[in-house]
Amino acid sequence: MTLKLRTLAVGGALMAATALTAPAAFAQSVGNAPVSSTIQMIQTQPSLNLSATGEVKVAPDMATITFGVVTEAATAQEAMALNATQMTRVAAALRRAGIAERDIQTSGLNLQAQYDYVQNEPPKLRGYQATNRVTVNINDLTKVGTTADAVVAAGVNQIDGISFGLKDPKTAEDQARRLAVQALQAKARLYAEALGVQLGGIRSLNEGGGYSPQPPMPVFAMARMQSAGADSTPVSAGELSVKIDITGVYDIR
């Protein structure tokens, strides 16, 4: 029994020594056929990872106005009824201004209890407030001021904001894409020249950014008596910025 244990110990030591001195290339046995495997280091080709932006300034061709009618009454039913009456007049004013039904959308309807607060006393119910908000798309920018005046005269007492946009931003986006690619190519050539290397082909190209509607700008409106021939509220559309951001990876040699 002692001899067998000693023999196994010597055999194990020889196997361990062999494993420690084995080269990177080694043989494995699959069934009866030996299979050789070799570990190789993979070297990646050097590259340039660059980014660029293309920007186009363009005049908007549409506007969006968000406004509301706020009414208060002693009961919830009265507040809602008053609000509905005023909103009916506002809707009629929008139709007279040439706004199509598809360009009018209810964006919020709210009813809240109103309380008076006195120190050291429980809140006292004063009444109810009803709010109906509407978002209107105006496709003729010459009608923005007159439309705002018309709805205020019809009963709108809150204008949340106005924003300008594009009906179809594709043309401006494509122009910005071309400018972004031109800027990326010029930057790649500059870097290759400065590094003293030869610029290869582009390995990958990714795009970000693009057109996004302008957030509403606050507008403060006040109902006013309008006489025939009176000027409408002045509104300036300005310009919109359409940006395309791209990143590209170029091979260099």
Given this model, what pLDDT does residue 201 score?
93
Residue 176 belongs to domain spanning: 46-61+167-225+236-253
- Length in residues, the chain: 253
243 and 173 in a common domain: yes
154 and 71 in a common domain: yes
d(CA 228, CA 221): 20
> What CATH number did the domain enclosing 90 receive?
3.30.70.2970
> What CATH number did the domain enclosing 244 receive?
3.30.110.170
Give the count of domains, the chain: 2
Given this model, what pLDDT does residue 233 score?
76
Q: Is the pLDDT of residue 119 over 70?
A: yes
d(CA 50, CA 187): 8
174 and 143 in a common domain: no
Calculate what percentage of the chain has a pLDDT beyond 90: 66
Q: Which residue has the higher pLDDT, 97 or 36?
A: 97
Q: Is the pLDDT of residue 70 over 90?
A: yes
DSSP 92: H
Given this model, what pLDDT does residue 223 score?
37
Partners of 173 in the beta sheet?
none
Query: Does residue 24 sit within a domain?
Result: no
130 and 96 in a common domain: yes
171 and 55 in a common domain: yes
Q: Where are the alpha helices (DSSP H) in the chain?
A: 2-20, 76-96, 144-154, 170-195
- Boundary (domain end) residue, out of 123, 142, 165: 165
Q: Is the pLDDT of residue 26 over 70?
A: no
Between 157-171, 189-203, 209-223, the lowest mean confidence (pLDDT) is in 209-223
Given this model, what pLDDT does residue 22 score?
44
Query: Does residue 193 sit within a domain?
Result: yes
- Boundary (domain end) residue, out of 115, 147, 165: 165
Given this model, what pLDDT does residue 62 score?
94
Given this model, what pLDDT does residue 42 score?
59
Per residue in 40-54, pLDDT tens?
A: 555 578 999 999 999
Q: Is the Cβ–Cβ distance between 139 and 98 less than 8 Å?
A: no
Per residue in 220-236, pLDDT tens?
A: 443 333 333 446 777 78
73 and 145 in a common domain: yes
Average pLDDT, the chain: 82
Given this model, what pLDDT does residue 11 score?
43
Query: Does residue 230 sit within a domain?
Result: no
Q: Is the pLDDT of residue 19 over 50?
A: no
Q: Is the pLDDT of residue 214 over 90?
A: no
Query: Does residue 9 sit within a domain?
Result: no
